Amino acid sequence: MIETDRLVLRPAVERDHPAVAAMNADPQVGYWLGGARDAAASALFLERCAEHIARHGFGFWVVERKADRQVIGMTGLWHAPDNLPEAGKVEVGWRFAAEAWGQGYATEAGRAALAHGFKVLNLAEILAWTARPNLKSQAVMRRIGMVPAPDRDFDHPSLAADDPLRPHVVFVARPQDEGYFRGR
């Protein structure tokens, strides 16, 4: 479990499924993540998250807001899938329910995930990537001190050549940068 001022990051449990399913079913969220998911697909997704955590000790955690104990999103670290150029590298990522946007929760959770990756897992580098038009996600990356690595940008292999989300930008964080400590 990871705790910040306002949030707790922890593995999902059964009672979290409805909140995660509602977030995954929202087209505003799904647009950036390969489409909205129905409840069955969301359950499968949480199963995969649990498998990664069981195998590696870290993964994509649910984010619970301390003030009301609501699960408002997910954030975490995981090994990039085999079909991507950065396969096997550790990636940080986030998704939040739309009603929780605009309050700095993704920034707070993302910064905590980076700190865990560097201080607990001793990673030498953590990557993040997103579709070039996903400026909200890139703004989170910048706020937590990640820097663009344009030489590592790639076209997502699962997306069609004319899909506007195909071009992906890559950001990197390294422990010696320590930008993620500074709350910018």
For 19, the token pair is 């909140």
Q: Which residue is nearest to ligand COA (CB)?
A: 104
Q: Which is nearer to ligand COA, 54 or 184 (CB)?
A: 184
Q: What is the DSSP string of 8-61?
A: EEE---GGGHHHHHHHHH-HHHHTTTTS---HHHHHHHHHHHHHHHHHHS--EE
Site string for ligand COA, 48-87 (x = CB under 6 A): ----------------------------------------
138 contributes a contact to ligand COA by CB under 6 A: no
The helix or strand, by DSSP H or E, that contains position 147, with its residue range, turns out to be: strand 147-148
CB of 76 to ligand COA, least distance (A): 12
Distance (Å, rounded) from C-alpha 90 to C-alpha 128?
A: 8
CB of 31 to ligand COA, least distance (A): 7
Q: Which residue has the tokens 């993040």?
A: 128
**In the set 34, 35, 102, 164, which binds ligand COA (CB under 6 A)?**
102
